Amino acid sequence: MTTDHTDTLPSFPRAAASADISAPNPPHAREAVSPCAVASRAAVTPPEDSTGDENRNRVRRPLALVTGASRGIGLAIAGALAAEGYDLILTCSRTLPALEEAAAQIARSHGVFCRTFLCDGGDPEAVEALFAVLGTIPLTLLVNNAGISHIGLLQEMTVPEWNRVISTNLSSCFYFCRAAIPLFLRRTTGSIINISSVWGSAGASMEVAYSASKGGVNAFTKALAKELAPSGIPVNALACGVVDTEMNQCFSEEEREALRGEIPADRFASPDEIARAVVHLAQMPSYLTGQVITIDGGWI
């Protein structure tokens, strides 16, 4: 059984028309690009490095890109960053209407700019197309949150199922980081936070692919942190325990109670708690890098 939280969780006061970047002449992309990434109906002009009067007169706010942002952890992260004054670029792989609605509410509530995209993070061409549309944006923070799980015996897992978990959870971090790093280096600033899991270090029976992918995220985080440390760009990860999201609704109430009983805090984490941890981590000095920080209520 595969459970998707790529849509877990959610930049510009003015709304604009729908911008399908696979169309011949979309509003913000005049070049032919992959149909795998689609700008939403709530999309508005991105905060490009322009010398126009509007940009000169606008106070520059930090800009964050959050993947898997239409519900759960990603949506909570988007809201928490907006509350701290971040403009947002938000992606999801499937549920664009939900993401658009959430982004509009965040923009109204916090007075920030939001731009939404349908983008499969496990597809390198889709990620390249997304960044081609975004251009040389002044990106401040990348949060790689998108991910899916697969519950079942390894010997019964198909090759396509394995590949989907690895591409969504691990390869997407590579694709987004590869595209974002030049933007960070161009401005000599930036930060990367990867959302991982305690199963990346402890491993979970019946979740071999998920555990392997999150173990890869942890190693990816530590290695990339060493690579980018000389440039002052921190790379860290949050290894989450059980979070009360749709991803864990696949368990019965009896199973959830048994799982809750294993956690010293005697409860699941809320998405808002993970989001607050992301905000705090984003505000830390760049000398804090290469860390996989566990947030699990004392469980593992």
Active site residues per annotation: 210
> Which has the closest alpha carbon to 190: 147, 219, 224?
224
> Which has the closest alpha carbon to 120: 102, 144, 94, 143?
94
For residue 300 the two structure tokens come to 């593992």
* Chain CA centroid to CA 293, Å: 17
Contact 165, 88 (CB under 8 A): no
Pairing of strands 37-39, 114-119: antiparallel
Q: Which residues of 178-196 are buried (b: 16+ CB within 10 A; e: fewer)?
A: ebbbebbeeeebbbbbbbb
For residue 1 the two structure tokens come to 């059984």
> Which has the closest alpha carbon to 43: 18, 67, 20?
18
Q: Which residue has the tokens 């997407």?
A: 172
Return d(Cα 47, Cα 61) in angstroms, integer.
9
What is each CA distance from 79 to 13, 37, 40, 252, 263, in whole angstroms?
Answer: 16, 23, 18, 29, 27
Instruction: Report DSSP state, residue 103.
Output: H
Query: Which residues lie below 8 Å from residue 160, measured CB to CB, with a gap of 6+?
Result: none
Bridge partners, 194 (sequence order): 144, 237
Return d(Cα 200, Cα 193) in angstroms, integer.
15
